[in-house]
Structure 1
Amino acid sequence: MGKIIFALALMIASFTIEAQVKIPQASPKSTLTQTVGLTDVEIDYHRPSMKNRVVFGDLVPFGKVWRTGANENTIISFSDDVVINGTTLKKGKYSIYTIPNADSWEVFFYATTDNWGNPEVWDESKIVLKVNAKPEVLNRNVETFTIGINNTDNNFANLEFSWEKTLVAVKFEVPTQKAALASIDKTLAGPSAADYYSSAQYFFQSNGDLNKALVYVNKAYEMHPKKPYWYSRLKSQIQAKLGDKKGAIETAKISLAAAQLEKNEDYVKMNQDSIAEWSKK
């Protein structure tokens, strides 16, 4: 009898775990991704609806910190530094808080992003950037709170908050020209030492064209100002695979000396083992 009761209890527990009730969220989650110029912007937030309520000045009181959405933090991330009202906001992830008022909003980019709603203790030192924005009155109702990236240009866009009959926009500038010029300069300058090294490594590991691998690793070694020991290590392996044991030993000794100087015991042992193996007649 006890075994039957135990089995039934297990069945009920299993059913309880598996039969999770799924219902729509009152404030569903939304993720917005937008590229502005060459900068990626992502926003994660929850979207409450009006539901016949007065929002600003009632549901969302004037003069008090608002989570700018619902549930956990509204979070924005930038892949590059951006400029807002002449101040640089470093690339990274921030929570957004606001203080709505009838004639002006304060918008805060806050350092911590793991709060549920407002922080338990509002910490002024965690305000990375604060800007003021003037609300616009819309001629229509926005039923569900919406954050958007609009009026996009290669060099700027507006971060917009809209709900009820209110729209608030914060313009931010992105470093498109700087990033584009850096990309052009890098591309026109040709492959880097790391590019040549990666190419040589691919040919070696995939049993590809070893002569081409040797050319690439030589270029990588010549271009890199610090002459990394892992570069010379790869060169020695390519030489050995091509049958040039004498050249491989000489190159391995260069890698060994550099690895000993950097106290990298793994590379020291690998080079010592290879030198011993290639020295055998």
Structure 2
Amino acid sequence: MRSCFHTVLAGGISLVVSLGMVVPAAEAQQQASEPAVQLPLPQASPHALVQQTIGLTDISVDYHAPGVKGRTIWGQLVPYSQIWRAGANENTIIKFSAAVRINGQAVPAGSYSIYVLPVSDQDWQFVLNRVITHWGAEGYEEKDDLVRIPIVPEASPFRETLLYWFSDAKNGTARLNLSWEKLTGSLYITTDVHAQALAGIEQTLAKQPGNWQLLAQAAEYLIQNNIQAELALRYINESIRLNDTYLNNWLKARLLASKEDYSTAIVYARKALKLGEKDDNAFMSQQPTMRIALTEWQAKAY
């Protein structure tokens, strides 16, 4: 323990005497208030960040990754039936730019801390907690949990350093995986990508209602995903009214064919082939597909 005492000399000069050293009190107070200086040394559990866009939703996991270092992890370093910080150091943070569903459970947009409650090698609970300012599990309280999601971890190749990683990313879904030692736990994340896309389409078209290309793009998205057929027809009709091109006529032909109106689809497909220009590379690349589709529709119509 450091020995020190405070004294005031004649003339009002204040000193602090510590371990035989005399330091002016003002200087001692300044030294005490200065932030501790740390050496730039590598961390035992390095910082990591993984990000993934699922549909139109951005997801990130910010964490510190501990190593196995010859230890038995599950059931020992990470005890069963005790909440675990799901990383090292401060909270592991997951952030969603829009609402998602995780294994079917609704999770609003926002940032959450991740915890795992391992009951056994075959029984985990993945926990999202609303408090993101803790040091690991210190101060954790179950009342702040947003969701607890049961998962069954699977045996996996040995991994020395804890890793969060995404897999099977598709238009609006993906898996988030946590791998460490010889186990991997996975979560299935889904987003309402079509609702987000439709909202964005409406906002953009409201600003540029006379843009035939944007209307055609909007119709193509709906046609490709086989949703909102009547809205797609409204968009493509307006696009044709603004600028009658091979592209929007071909899109209308595809839409009509999807509704099994092959006779009318043939009319618009023939019109699209007639409007196409020989020096248009986009048209020339699509022309073989258009002719094949036209032949198929004719066989179905007649």
Query: Could you say which TM-score interval applies, normalised by the shorter chain?
Result: 0.5 to 0.7
Which residue identity lines up with residue 128 of structure 1 in the other structure? L
Aligned equivalent of 2:186 = 169
Gap regions ≥5 residues in structure 1: 193-281
Does 2:102 correspond to 1:84?
yes
Does 2:133 correspond to 1:114?
yes
Task: Tell me: CA distance 1:27–1:121, structure 2 relative to 1, closer, same or farther (3 Å).
Answer: closer
For 1:48 and 1:147, the matched residues in 2 are separated by 12
Alpha-carbon distance, 1:22 to partner: 1.9
For 1:144 and 1:121, the matched residues in 2 are separated by 24
**1:116-142 Cα shifts (integer Å, max 9, x gaps):** 01142523x21111111111101x210
For 1:165 and 1:66, the matched residues in 2 are separated by 17
Which residue identity lines up with residue 165 of structure 2 in the other structure? G
Say if 1:80 and 1:175, in contact at 8 Å, map to a contact too: no
Aligned equivalent of 1:247 = none
Aligned equivalent of 1:154 = 171
Matches within 5 A, 1:169-208: 169-191=186-208
SS of residue in 2 equivalent to 1:170: strand
For 1:86 and 1:47, the matched residues in 2 are separated by 28
Which residue identity lines up with residue 132 of structure 2 in the other structure? T
Among candidates 58, 63, 68, match of residue 86 of structure 2: 68
Alpha-carbon distance, 1:94 to partner: 0.4
Does 2:22 correspond to 1:22?
no
**1:47-92 Cα shifts (integer Å, max 9, x gaps):** 0001111111111111211000011100101000001232210000
Aligned equivalent of 1:57 = 75
RMSD: 2.8
Alpha-carbon distance, 1:155 to partner: 1.1
**1:125-178 Cα shifts (integer Å, max 9, x gaps):** 21111111111101x210100111221111111111000110100111012111
**TM-score (normalizing by structure 1):** 0.60
Aligned equivalent of 2:59 = 41
For 2:137 and 2:59, the matched residues in 1 are separated by 23
**1:199-248 Cα shifts (integer Å, max 9, x gaps):** xxxxxxxxxxxxxxxxxxxxxxxxxxxxxxxxxxxxxxxxxxxxxxxxxx
Structure (1 or 2) with the greater strand fraction: 2
Which residue identity lines up with residue 64 of structure 1 in the other structure? Q
Number of aligned positions between the proteins: 186
Which residue identity lines up with residue 135 of structure 2 in the other structure? W
Alpha-carbon distance, 1:191 to partner: 4.4
Aligned equivalent of 2:160 = 143
Task: Tell me: CA distance 1:45–1:18, structure 2 relative to 1, closer, same or farther (3 Å).
Answer: closer
Say if 2:134 and 2:140, in contact at 8 Å, map to a contact too: no
Which residue identity lines up with residue 129 of structure 2 in the other structure? Y
